[in-house]
Chains A and B, each alone.
Chain A
């Protein structure tokens, strides 16, 4: 029964698990990109620091990184609540707070880079 499930099929509970790993790879690639950019440009003042994030491709990459981060953090935090918080009501409140917190962080990220 469980042998012919495919990733792009309907959801088998696999979506978040896979999403967490895909976002992990995207974030790892961005971390390496940022490290290389910083090591090459060595920004030492405001203008140089500003210019690290001023190219459009860097803004896009950074926003993709942050979007990945918020989704990844959602899956991770939900796993933590599911493991340690058993009462449904409390868990629901914590999950809602987590979503509100991450959406607010997302808005802030948009404000910075758009």
Chain B
């Protein structure tokens, strides 16, 4: 703790934050998607709680929720949220493995990111199919 620290004047670090010219690698896209999907699920919590509340409360409420769910705008929002959930779920499991230092070298990390994309779409399709048909 008693070591002397020689201070150098802070140099302006080179910054490059032009988001439109940075080509984000696949794990990077996954990372920002994880954040966007999480924020979207957060913002739509009241809608989901409301649908759950109404559908469990009374039979009339249940029928109401069923009829709302036949509207295309509700369908699109729910399918979007289902995809957000599946993506967040799969990417989250990947992050848990990365936290345990499993699959942290670049080829493996790229491969697992690709798997997350590859798996979350069919999962969404299956869940949406079961929900609406």
A contact residues vs B (CB 8 Å cutoff): 21, 24-25, 28, 31, 38-39, 45-46, 49-50, 53, 73, 76-77, 80, 101, 105, 108-109, 111-112
Is the contact region of chain A dominated by helix, strand, or loop, or is it mixed? helix
**B49 at interface, CB cutoff 8 A:** yes
Shortest CB–CB separation between residue A78 and chain B, in angstroms? Answer: 11
A26 CA to B45 CA in the complex, in Å?
18
Number of A-B residue pairs, CB cutoff 8 Å, is 47
Q: Which residues of the partner chain A approach B62 to less than 8 Å between Cβ atoms? A: 45-46, 49-50
Question: Which one of A24, A53, A112 contacts B49 once the chains associate, using CB atoms below 8 Å?
Answer: A112
Q: A21-B99, A46-B62, A105-B46 are in contact. Are A28 and B39 (CB under 8 A)?
A: no
Cβ-closest chain B residue relative to A38: B130
A77 CA to B56 CA in the complex, in Å?
29
Cβ-closest chain A residue relative to B86: A31
Name the 5 nearest CB pairs between A and B, nearest first.
Answer: A46-B62, A46-B59, A73-B42, A76-B38, A112-B53
Q: A49-B62, A50-B56 are in contact. Are A105 and B49 (CB under 8 A)?
A: yes
Interface size class of B (residues with CB under 8 A): 20 to 34
Question: Which one of B49, B56, B93, B130 contacts A28 once the chains associate, using CB atoms below 8 Å?
Answer: B93
Q: A24-B92, A46-B59 are in contact. Are A108 and B53 (CB under 8 A)?
A: yes
Subset of 6 A-B contacts with CB under 8 Å: A21-B99, A28-B92, A38-B130, A46-B62, A76-B35, A108-B49
Shortest CB–CB separation between residue B74 and chain A, in angstroms? Answer: 17
Contact yes or no, B92 A77, CB < 8 A: no
